[in-house]
Every structure is written in structure tokens, then in C-alpha cells.
Structure 1
Amino acid sequence: MASLRGSTLLPQCVSCIRRITRPDLHVWRPQQTRTISKKAKEAERNITVKLLTDVPRYGRAGSYVPLNPSLMRNKWFPARVADYVPATQMKQLKAQEVVIARDFTFGVQLNLEEAEDEEEDFGKQPKYYVRPIEIDVLSPGRSMELLNAFVPPTVDFYRQRIEQESPSKERMGASGAADILTAAAMASKAKAPVDAIYGSVSTADLVSTIRGALAHNDEASRVILNEADVKFVSGHEEGDTSRVKQLGTFKVEIRLPGAEEPLVRNIRIREKQSEA
């Protein structure tokens, strides 16, 4: 105790003095703390995704790889390169001990001659072969089958009706110029049909709605549908089959290039109730 009393490293708090004076003095030692490396932190942030296509330096289609969430959210998922893995499926993968790892050598080929040159001259960079991503395009017949399955018989749209104003009473003492302008305005409004709407329902609106319905299925989302493949059969103005400007139910025809028969659906335009 005399040696401890004269030491400059003697603790000043009561709890530390009690711990030092215990019989197991040799067990007491400073605690070590370990910091997590940057690479380990990135590994904790990564999520497991399923590849939908072959991606060089990552793996083949159908394999499970860890990926940065921001890269998945901003690029891979919108481009249909990979898909998210639900939590229930993750439990099954862990139970089945499925390998979840990135293949850095996939899609990269180094020729033997280039490897020999690299040993002789370290200043030259080796040339790598990157395998292009192959896109499996659906046939026109299969695309029409998917459209028939996922597009409902009647597609509803809502638009605001153009209100028909009743002729106003004559104003006493109004000028002749004001009467002429009022009569011209009333004549232009009278030409509008009873079921006329503000704006229109175009083929672009229909294509956007159909794409939203197809996006819920992996195979159906690969159907390529453009505005030129859709046209109104009824309800359109003469010479313009791309839009309808009135309320009612009309027929639309969908025909993909190479398809034998078109797909006919009903487009129902209903009146949108104005907010009170």
C-alpha cells in the first residue's frame, strides 16, 4: 500500500481505489475500444437485391448481391436492373444458406497475351472485356396477351365539364360596343357541345395509365407501348384520332407492330365534381 500511495497514477475516486485494493489486482487493466472501419460501415448500410439482368462485376441474373441503397433507389430499380428483396424472402434465403455476395470477376475477361505484357511493362493498363447487357424483348403476340390480361375492359378518366351559361338580361344604358362584345362571347360559348370538357383525354394519357397497370408485373413491365400504337375509334374529331374532348364512352384500338389483331377497349370519360 505504501508503493501505491506514493504512485502518481493512484486513482482519486473511491470506486477506483476499491477496485485496485481488491485481491484480484492483476485482473484490472485499461479497457480497449475498437472503432468500426469505413468499409465495415458501408457493408452495414448495404441492402440485398436480386439482379434481373447480367451485370458485369456483380453477377448473373437471379443472383443476390449487396448494394448501396442510394444506387438501387436512383439508378438500378428505375432501369429494372435489380429488384428489392422483401424481409420474408430474406429469412428464407438465410435459412437456405444462399450465397449473398458480389462477383467481381463476372463479365471481365483478360487475355493471356495482355497478362504477359502486363508482367513486362507495369505502366500499361490491361484491357478488359465488358459483356454487354442483353435485353430479352417480348414477341408481339406475347405482348398483346399481357395487355389483354392487365388492361381492364373499361378505363375511366375524369375531366371537368364546360359549364353552359344562360343568356344574361339586357343592361339598360349599355353602349353598343359592349353589346357587340357580349353577343360575340355568348356565340362562342354556344358553339361548345353540352358534354364538352376542359382539355382532353389523349392517347398519351391512356398509354401512361396502361404502363402504370403493367408495372406491377415483372414480365408485363417489359411490354413496349408507344402513343403511335393507340388510336381512338369513336368520339374523336375528324382527322385527329389521338384525343377526345367530350364526356361519354368511346372505343380505343391498341395494336402493336407485328400483332395480327388489335385490342379494343372502352374509354369512359366522367364528369369531375368541382370542389366546393
Structure 2
Amino acid sequence: MALFSTPKCPSCIRQLAGGAFQQIRGIKKMVKVPTVTVRLLKDVPKYGPAGTLIPVAKGRMRSIWYPQKVADYVHYTELKKIPRGEAPQRDFFFLADTVTSGKKKQKATVSLLSPTQTIAILEALLPPSLQFSSATISPTDHSLHGSVSTVDIANAIKMVSAANGEEGSRVVITPDQIELIGVEGDKIKMIGEYQFEIKMKGTNDFVRRRATVQRQEIH
């Protein structure tokens, strides 16, 4: 009966683990941010209440907090009076709920486009044809080495829309809202021109465009 023994050499262990182990050749040093001890002049969420001494990045104090009178510098003589082991500490939990709720309110103010608005924007922004290039099985074969799917078309639509300003960047389109005309399934598998329609629930309007799939040139 053959006995299995745990391999000892590093290369054998890596082979047994499928190459999952890597040798660590060095350790990166942590970058220390220079700080200064300041006194808060007002309550600051996730830092502390007014009157608290805390350490803060020198750049933040110099460029933001001091000009806006959020905090003031602490004299060296006062710092010397702080007992050892009682260094000022930032309070990460101070009014943390206020910051979280504020972010939620900001997100709630972003309005979504209705299906009718989305269709109208796409009708105005999309060119007559979206261009795709893909490798073929051979230089003389029209069959694609892979496919151009409704996922690819949806991504292309989002890129074109986002490049046309803030209104276009609000467009949300998913592959299931795209229907290829005259193609079985959701994948184009040969070079050529194909029509597709963008349809959304909540409106009878739709957008029809072409997807032009060309042979990818190999240099």
C-alpha cells in the first residue's frame, strides 16, 4: 500500500495546491500621514464634539478646517500638559448616524428616468448604427470566433449615452430590453448588419437601430 506524505519542498507544495501559493519577496511599508493636534471649534461627525483635542492631517487643517474655522491650532505649551498615555484620539463613532442618514437623503434625490424619457433620449442620441468588430474562425469565413450579444449591445448603448452629457449618463439599459430582429436567440454569430429594437415596459414607444459586425483586422 502506498503511503501519502506531505511534500516538503516549496515547489512541490505549490504544484499540489495548483499554484495557489506565492513566495513573498518583500513587505511594503505603510505611508504615514503627518498630523497635527488641533482643538475643534464645532461638532464634527466622526471626529468629535467642539472643544475636543484630536490629531488631524496637516493638509486638512491647513487647507480646509482652519480657513473655515472648524478647528484651531493648539499651543505647544498646552500639548506638554497632556499626560503620557492620554494622547488625543479621534472619535470615529461621534454623530456617525448623522453622516449615514445624510448620504441616504442625497441618494434619494437622484430621480430616475421614466421609460418614455429613456426611449426619447436614446432616439435622440444613438447613431443609426453601432459598430462592432470581432475575429472570425478563418480569414475567409463569416462565422465569428465567439459572438456579439445583447450584453455587448447594451454596454455600447450605455457608453454612447454617457458620452453625451449628464442626461445621457442617467440612461439605464439592460440586455433583456434589447431584441435582435431576424436572429434566433440573443447572440450574433456572423459578420453583417443586424437590426435590433429597444423596448421597455411602461411605454409603447421603441428605438430601432442597426448593429454592424465587421471582421476584426489582424495586423
TM range (shorter): 0.5 to 0.7
Q: What TM-score does the superposition give when structure 1 sets the normalisation length?
A: 0.43
Q: Deviations over 1:63-84 (max 9, x none)?
A: xxx9xxxxxxxxxxxxxxxxxx
SS of the residue corresponding to residue 146 of structure 1 reads: helix
Over 3 Å counting, the alpha-carbon distance change for 1:195 and 1:43 in structure 2 is farther
Equivalence map 1:98-109=2 (5 Å): none
The count of aligned residue pairs is 135
Equivalence map 1:95-174=2 (5 Å): 130-131=101-102, 132=105, 133-134=107-108, 135-163=110-138
Q: Indicate if the aligned counterparts of 2:116 and 2:205 stay in contact, CA closer than 8 A.
A: no
Among 155, 159, 169, the alignment partner of 1:212 is 159
Partner of 2:172: 224
Could you tell me how far apart the structure 2 residues matched to 1:257 and 1:197 are? 32
Unaligned runs of 5+ in 2: 1-33, 37-55, 71-93
Partner of 1:79: none
Unaligned runs of 5+ in 1: 1-34, 47-65, 67-99, 104-124, 166-193
Q: Indicate if the aligned counterparts of 1:204 and 1:227 stay in contact, CA closer than 8 A.
A: yes
More strand by share: 2
Over 3 Å counting, the alpha-carbon distance change for 1:43 and 1:127 in structure 2 is closer
Q: Which protein shows a greater Rg?
A: 1
Partner of 1:258: 202
Among 19, 30, 41, the alignment partner of 2:59 is 41
In the TM superposition, what is the alpha-carbon distance from 1:201 to its structure 2 partner? 0.4
Could you tell me how far apart the structure 2 residues matched to 1:39 and 1:262 are? 54
Q: What TM-score does the superposition give when structure 2 sets the normalisation length?
A: 0.53
In the TM superposition, what is the alpha-carbon distance from 1:39 to its structure 2 partner? 4.0
What amino acid maps onto 2:145 in structure 1? Y
In the TM superposition, what is the alpha-carbon distance from 1:128 to its structure 2 partner? 5.8
For the aligned residues, what is the CA RMSD? Answer: 3.2
Could you tell me how far apart the structure 2 residues matched to 1:212 and 1:272 are? 20
Over 3 Å counting, the alpha-carbon distance change for 1:154 and 1:128 in structure 2 is closer
Q: Indicate if the aligned counterparts of 1:225 and 1:256 stay in contact, CA closer than 8 A.
A: no
Over 3 Å counting, the alpha-carbon distance change for 1:160 and 1:40 in structure 2 is same
Could you tell me how far apart the structure 2 residues matched to 1:230 and 1:207 are? 7
In the TM superposition, what is the alpha-carbon distance from 1:141 to its structure 2 partner? 1.3
SS of the residue corresponding to residue 211 of structure 1 reads: helix
What amino acid maps onto 2:166 in structure 1? D
Could you tell me how far apart the structure 2 residues matched to 1:146 and 1:223 are? 8
SS of the residue corresponding to residue 274 of structure 1 reads: coil
Could you tell me how far apart the structure 1 residues matched to 2:162 and 2:112 are? 16
What amino acid maps onto 1:246 in structure 2? M
Q: Indicate if the aligned counterparts of 1:249 and 1:266 stay in contact, CA closer than 8 A.
A: yes
Q: Give the % identical residues.
A: 21
